[in-house]
Amino acid sequence: MLNILWPIFIILSVIYSIISGNIEEVNTGIFNSLSEAVELSITFLGTICLWSGIMEIAKKTSIISKLNKLLKPFINFLFPDLKNNEMAKQEISMNMIANILGLGNAATPLGIKAMQTMQKANKSKETLSNSMMMFIVINTASIQLIPTNVIAIRTSLNSQNPTSIIIPVWIATIIAGFVGIFLTKILIKKVR
Amino acid sequence: MANVINYISNLAIPTIIVTIIFYGLKEKAKVFDTFLDGAKEGMEIVFKMFPTLLGIFLAVGMLRTSGLIDGIVNLITPFTDFLEIPSNILPLTVLRPISGSASMAVAVDIMQNYGVDTLTGIITSTIMGSTETTFYTIAIYTSAVGIKKTRGILIAALAADVAGMLASTVICRILS
């Protein structure tokens, strides 16, 4: 996707800036954006290391299995087809936990594992199964407890209260999640 | 009300950290060594991410300074005024499902220009926190197992994104 978008963005910008007389701004913009990328990465370095470290501790404790138990009713409701597929359910709940804790980088590898397990039970190998549909939509819904990346950015931009967005994020995520799950339940029934 | 919400928000992160460390101690894990192992992995993630971030910042920075984004925003402002969405967050709503790092760069840019703690800044943050890079997520999961037919989940996922963005705008307006 970015192999197409990236060059289009750059070429269009240069052409447009020449037409509109903004070429000087674009020239300074190039170098400003480089230092912005460096600054942001340095802030990221701190937060991502913190959460990876904390998550590593969580992995060594019984918290993970406790959360698994907590998620069971949701998983049974969302994935009725996986009734006897304990392996898939376990992997899905690990993926959800990583998502909930805002660890996108941990969530994706776990999610791919879950997809592979579900694919084994999938009857038509080129078409998404019902459970896979639901699983992907939930992963696009960004269900997370602490939006760590956004908080990191707000902190780096000197916000007076970087964490003030947590509750609005919760409400918006829940609404988006409901819409996604509802539509997917319809699609599962209507589209074969 | 706003104070209570703020307090809960402030409480969330320290509580999670302390709970996890408490369990680590209780179950006799080597808490600090384990933390270091995880943090090292975190460093690798950031180093791997940096080139992408730089490339995207470059393209988006050029797009913005050329005046092209402003031009597009001017074109669609009448529609978004109708929906009461601040027009300066439009580039974000368009980029968000397509590219995580590009939308992140745009979000940073919006917050730098209009203020982190203004209504626009808070809506921007809420949208970033409550939506995902839909195209990327679907592409990764389907390609990992060789799926070709997706039975319309892109529509469901995009509808969820739109719902999340509209909800973000409304909620932030009500709370501020």
Instruction: Find chain B residues with C-beta within 8 A of A103's C-beta.
Output: none
The helix (run of H) or strand (run of E) holding residue A182 is: helix A166-190
List pLDDT tens digits, range A113-162.
Answer: 889 889 999 988 889 999 999 999 999 987 887 787 788 888 888 899 88
* Total number of residues shown for chain B: 176
On whether both B47 and B99 belong to a single domain, the answer is no
On whether both B101 and B156 belong to a single domain, the answer is yes
On whether both B115 and B170 belong to a single domain, the answer is yes
Structure confidence at residue A2 (pLDDT)? 61
Q: Is B149 helix (H, G, I), strand (E, B) or coil?
A: strand
Domain residue ranges in chain A: 55-190
| Alpha-carbon span B62 to B65, nearest angstrom | 5
The helix (run of H) or strand (run of E) holding residue B35 is: helix B31-65
On whether both B82 and B147 belong to a single domain, the answer is yes
On whether both B49 and B80 belong to a single domain, the answer is no
On whether both B89 and B31 belong to a single domain, the answer is no
Q: Does the distance separating the beta carbons of A169 and B126 come in below 8 Å?
A: yes
A176-185, B69-78, B129-138: range with lowest mean pLDDT: B69-78
Q: Which of A103, A101, A106 is nearest to A146 (CA)?
A: A101
| Shortest alpha-carbon distance between residue B14 and chain A (Å) | 11
Domain boundary among B66, B91, B115: B66
Domain boundary among B16, B37, B66: B66
Mutate to test the interface with B, among A18, A27, A56 (most CBs of B within 10 A): A56
Structure confidence at residue A142 (pLDDT)? 74
Structure confidence at residue B126 (pLDDT)? 94
On whether both B84 and B122 belong to a single domain, the answer is yes
On whether both B22 and B100 belong to a single domain, the answer is no
Treating both helix axes as pointing N-terminal to C-terminal, what angle do A2-20 and B68-83 enclose, rounded to 10 degrees?
Answer: 100
| Shortest alpha-carbon distance between residue B89 and chain A (Å) | 15
Give the count of domains, chain B: 2
DSSP state of A127: B
Q: What is the domain extent for residue B46?
A: 1-66
Please, which pLDDT band fits residue B83 given cuts at 50, 70 and 90? low
Average pLDDT of span B137-150 = 82
Residue A179 near chain B (CB below 8 Å): yes
On whether both B142 and B104 belong to a single domain, the answer is yes
The ipTM (two decimal places) reads 0.71
On whether both B87 and B115 belong to a single domain, the answer is yes
Residue B4 has pLDDT above 70, yes or no: no
Domain boundary among B15, B46, B66: B66
Instruction: Find chain A residues with C-beta within 8 A of B167's C-beta.
Output: 171-172, 175-176
Within chain A, which residues score under 50 in pLDDT? none
| Alpha-carbon span B106 to B92, nearest angstrom | 6
On whether both B105 and B163 belong to a single domain, the answer is yes
CA angle B129, B83, B103 (to 5 degrees): 30
